[in-house]
């Protein structure tokens, strides 16, 4: 099995390249400006703005195509219609500081399949990892990735709202958060209070999901409020308080 990782010099592409080698595949890589190598499977790991360009460049190549990039819901369906080919989605769930570890030992694996045949091919590629593969359609897979990241952003904003209340009422928000996290439905994530969410993913994905909602004719009030609060924290306390997500 030959696997080509497109965008191999990036964080996601580099980790994916090493994972495919670890799984025993014959792996090649290319990046912007490089010629794409012939393969059985093409894993696209480029910034989302360049996914369409890569799919276009693959017009003369046959084989399974799977996108690891975080594309807005509906993007891959549009590209499949535009270029007349099947495209799967294998979203990455990597943290920048621990990308290789997260790639080798993911909490779960999910894929979006354009059809059962290509879904089976992608699931087979990942089978050596020994982790059950959660399968959905492509657009649901794209939306799920945004749900995960934007949920994290909303949780951080919730605790920052609670922190703001504590400054008016003289109680310990950190103690409250620590105790609340003992409830199994309350996540520990986000309980570093008084800091805005930041990093490469959360702000970008929040903006994109808000825009996607509005383009679809739906006003995302909760997401909009979380982003507004986060922007206010950044203005009040500066870039040094931004939390990476």
pLDDT band at 245 (very low <50, low <70, confident <90, very high): very low
pLDDT in tens, 76-109: 999 999 999 999 999 999 988 899 999 999 999 9
Three-state secondary structure of the chain: CEEEEECCCCHHHHHHHHHHHHCCCEEEEECCCCCCCCCCEEEECCCHHHHHHHHHHCCCCCCEEEECCCCCCCHHHHHHHHHCCCCEECCCCCCHHHHHHHHHCCCCEEEEECCHHHHHHHHHHHHHHCCCEEEEEHHHHHHHHHHHHHHHHHHHHHHHHHHHHHHHHCCCHHHHHHHHCCCCCCCCCCCCCCCCEECCCHHHHHHHHHHHHHHCCCCCHHHHHHHHHHHHHHHHHCHHHCEEC
Asked if 6 and 16 count as a contact pair (C-beta separation under 8 A), the reply is no
Report the pLDDT value the prediction gives residue 171, as an integer from 0 to 100: 94
pLDDT in tens, 188-238: 888 888 888 888 899 999 999 999 999 999 999 999 999 999 999 888 776
Domain ranges of the chain: 2-131, 143-244
Tell me which fold the domain 143-244 belongs to: 1.10.1040
Report the pLDDT value the prediction gives residue 239, as an integer from 0 to 100: 55
What are residue 137's DSSP bridge partners?
Answer: 113
- Using the Cα atoms of residue 38, residue 40, residue 98 and residue 231 in order, give the sign of their dihedral: positive
pLDDT in tens, 12-28: 999 999 999 999 999 99
Tokens linked to 196: 């805005």
Mean pLDDT of 137-152: 97
Q: How far is CA 49 from CA 8, 69, 168, in A?
A: 16, 9, 43
User: Dihedral, CA atoms, 39, 72, 134, 157, nearest 10 degrees?
Assistant: 140
Average pLDDT across the chain, whole number: 93
Q: What is the CA radius of gyration of the chain?
A: 20
Percentage of the chain exceeding pLDDT 90: 84
Report the CATH number of the 2-131 domain: 3.40.50.720
Q: Is the pLDDT of residue 35 over 70?
A: yes
């Amino acid at each position: 099995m030959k696997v080509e990782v497109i965008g191999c010099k990036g964080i996601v592409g580099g980790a994916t390249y090493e994972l495919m080698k670890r799984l025993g595949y014959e792996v090649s890589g290319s990046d912007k400006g490089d010629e794409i190598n012939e393969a059985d499977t093409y894993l696209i790991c480029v910034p989302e703005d360049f996914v369409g360009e890569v799919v276009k460049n693959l017009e003369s190549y046959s084989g399974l195509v799977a996108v690891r990039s975080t594309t807005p819901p509906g993007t891959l369906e549009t590209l499949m219609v535009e270029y007349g080919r099947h495209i799967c989605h294998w979203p990455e769930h990597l943290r920048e500081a621990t990308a290789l570890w997260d790639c080798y030992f993911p909490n779960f694996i999910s894929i979006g399949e354009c059809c059962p045949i290509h879904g089976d091919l992608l699931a087979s590629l990942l089978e050596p990892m020994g982790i059950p593969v959660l399968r959905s359609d492509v657009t649901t897979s794209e939306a799920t990735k945004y749900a995960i990241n934007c949920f994290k952003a909303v949780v951080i904003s919730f605790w920052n709202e609670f922190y703001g209340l504590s400054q008016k009422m003289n109680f310990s928000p950190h103690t409250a958060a620590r105790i609340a996290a003992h409830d199994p439905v309350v996540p520990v994530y986000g309980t570093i209070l008084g800091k805005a969410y930041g990093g490469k993913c959360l702000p970008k994905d929040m903006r994109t999901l808000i825009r996607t909602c509005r383009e679809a004719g739906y006003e995302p009030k909760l997401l909009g409020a979380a982003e507004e609060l986060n922007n206010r924290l950044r203005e009040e306390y500066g870039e040094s308080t931004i939390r990476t997500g």
